[in-house]
């Protein structure tokens, strides 16, 4: 059981309208948003932040942003967000070979050096204590400009919030997210955990 029960998608009309964003992204409105709307100012602010962070302003693609989010969620252990981010990466055009080998991004040929630098940044920034150092910075600046680095850290920070929210809430995971997680992450032992 989740810590707090999600409300109906019709509970708050402004949240419902903004949540259409997730229909495109995931194919459903996440239970996390349905829980946040117990305080509509939180759900509305969260959705607007999510939309701003996931907007593409440079060369950081929608698929790469979702893979950055996956690495961050994997580092923190949030199974709910792992499932959501792999599903969103799939829906936003990540290559099949990348989806199948996301765990091996550091060595698999499906990932470019620029993508590896971004994903290493995600991992280092998601650890506690934080592990972003000069080596990470040097690799980032080799491939990405400062605006793109801000976009990446926006994704990492957004998922820091979501990882804590969903693991603390024990948010019930949606069937579509489970399907994608089983397909791409199941071979590595992914399970729903507390998110039943």
Task: Quote the pLDDT of residue 41.
Answer: 98
pLDDT greater than 90 at residue 29? yes
CA angle 152, 25, 43 (to 5 degrees): 80
Residue 70 contacts by C-beta under 8 Å, 6 or more apart in sequence? 82, 85, 86, 89, 102
pLDDT greater than 90 at residue 1? no
Task: Quote the pLDDT of residue 15.
Answer: 96
Task: Quote the pLDDT of residue 116.
Answer: 98
pLDDT greater than 90 at residue 60? yes
Label residue 184 by pLDDT band (50, 70, 90): very high
Region 105-132: mean pLDDT is 98
Instruction: Please give the Cα distance from 103 to 34 (Å, whole number).
Output: 30
Task: Quote the pLDDT of residue 51.
Answer: 97
Q: Does the model's pTM come out above 0.85?
A: yes
Proportion of the chain above pLDDT 90, given as a percent: 98
pLDDT greater than 90 at residue 98? yes
| Class of 13-188 in CATH | mainly alpha
What are the structure tokens assigned to 66, written together? 């979702």
Region 22-50: mean pLDDT is 97
127-181 pLDDT, tens digit each:
999 999 999 999 999 999 999 999 999 999 999 999 999 999 999 999 999 999 9
Region 80-84: mean pLDDT is 98
Q: Domain boundaries in the chain?
A: 13-188
CB atoms within 10 A of CB 71: 25
């Amino acid at each position: 059981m989740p810590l707090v029960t999600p409300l109906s998608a019709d509970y708050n009309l402004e949240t419902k309208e903004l949540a259409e964003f997730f229909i495109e992204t995931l194919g459903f409105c996440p239970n996390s948003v349905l829980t946040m709307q117990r305080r509509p100012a939180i759900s509305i602010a969260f959705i607007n932040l999510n939309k701003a962070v996931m907007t593409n302003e440079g060369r950081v693609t929608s698929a790469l942003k979702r893979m950055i989010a996956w690495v961050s969620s994997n580092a923190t252990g949030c199974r709910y967000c792992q499932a959501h981010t792999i599903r969103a990466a799939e829906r936003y055009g990540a290559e099949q070979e990348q989806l199948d080998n996301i765990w091996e991004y550091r060595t698999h040929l499906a990932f470019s050096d620029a993508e590896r630098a971004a994903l290493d940044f995600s991992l280092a920034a998601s650890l506690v204590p934080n592990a972003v150092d000069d080596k990470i910075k040097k690799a980032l600046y080799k491939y990405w400009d400062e605006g793109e680095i801000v976009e990446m850290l926006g994704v990492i920070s957004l998922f820091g919030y979501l990882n804590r929210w969903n693991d603390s809430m024990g948010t019930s995971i949606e069937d579509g997210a489970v399907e994608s997680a089983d397909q791409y992450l199941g071979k590595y032992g992914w399970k729903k955990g507390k998110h039943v």
